[in-house]
Amino acid sequence: MAASYWDSHCSRNLVSKEQLDFSHAEDRLLGLTREHIQQLNAYFCASIAELAKHLKLRQRVAASAMIYFRRTYLCNNFCRMDPRLAYVACLYLACKAEESLLAAKHLVVHAKTLRPKWSYDVKDLLDMEMVLLEDLDFNLIVFSPYRDLAVFLADAGVDVACGQRAWGALNDSYRSDANLLYPPHIVALGCLCLAASAGGVDLSTWLQRLNVDLNQVAAVVSELSSLYMQHTYVISTDECHRLLDLVYQRWDSAAAAPVGERVRRG
């Protein structure tokens, strides 16, 4: 495992706003708006968290799975790869990477328990795992902001309430683009600053001691503030299916799905 974030491949996985804007090009041609795509990304990240909690997995496992999901769809489209299978496969892969091994059959049972209409089986899950590994270029190490936030909370000496708000903001950050755009310590600082601002805690003196780009920290705060203003709730499962089915209907009417696409889009 890499000694630090900057020595690993993870620092090269950060993307720009422009790269995000160019993702999901085919989905947008088929009628999904930027807001729809954000809603679907947030829905499936929330679904990963829900399934991980149901399985009593560590938060770190869920966090890695959400990063895998978001990275996968930087180079894929919902119309070609069904996210209803991909999100479960991302969690399965994260279990292996984070040494929380879970049998595929056990995961499938729990996925069907939470989503009775989930139509995939163990073979589909294992096939999708191989697809994900290829799309992720076998780079499975994820440096999450959780350790950084713990260090910052201890150093800043904020109260318990502020700390709880910061942890909540960090969990919510996975429903935004923040973890794709900024390194972990910047995301952690942004969550702490947002929590401090909400509680009337002044961190200005403490922040001046840190060797960080405060413009990036402010950008994370802005990203999370936009998340709370625009997506205060996660769309329903029915709405998720409606959006995806609409895309698939338009995709199928435009051209027949290529042979072998069953796993990528069921």
pLDDT of residue 11: 55
In the chain, what percentage of residues exceed pLDDT 70?
90
| pLDDT of 266 higher than 70 | no
CA angle 31, 35, 40 (to 5 degrees): 85
Are 163 and 199 within 8 A, CB to CB? no
For residue 229, the model assigns a pLDDT of 82
CATH level 3 topology of 146-230 = Cyclin A; domain 1 (1.10.472)
Does the pLDDT value for residue 117 go beyond 50? yes
CB atoms within 10 A of CB 167: 18
Q: Give the mean pLDDT of 247-260.
A: 68
Q: Are 266 and 124 in contact (CB under 8 A)?
A: yes
Residue spans per domain, the chain: 19-141+236-254, 146-230
- pLDDT bucket at 4, cuts 50 / 70 / 90: low
Instruction: Name the maximum alpha-carbon separation found in the chain.
Output: 61
Average pLDDT, the chain: 88
End-to-end CA distance of the chain: give it in Å, rounded: 35
What is the structure's pLDDT at 196? 94
Asked if residue 9 has pLDDT above 90, the reply is no
258 pLDDT exceeds 70? Answer: no
Q: Model pTM?
A: 0.87
Q: How far apart (Å, rounded) are the C-alpha atoms in residues 151 and 212?
A: 15
Q: Is the pLDDT of residue 79 over 70?
A: yes
* pLDDT at residue 255 in the model: 62
Rounded CA-CA distance 76/66 in Å is 15
Note the pLDDT tens digit of each residue in 125-177. Answer: 999 999 999 999 888 889 889 999 999 999 998 899 999 999 999 999 998 89
The CATH architecture assigned to 19-141+236-254 reads Orthogonal Bundle (1.10)
- pLDDT tens for 172-230 read 999 889 999 999 999 999 999 999 998 888 999 999 999 899 999 999 999 999 888 87
The per-residue pLDDT for 21 is: 85
6: pLDDT confidence band, cut at 50, 70 and 90? very low
CA distance 141 to 118: 28
CB-CB contact of 125 with 107 (8 Å): yes
19-141+236-254 and 146-230 in the same fold: yes
What confidence score (pLDDT) does residue 13 get?
Answer: 77
Q: Can you read off the two tokens belonging to residue 127?
A: 């096939």
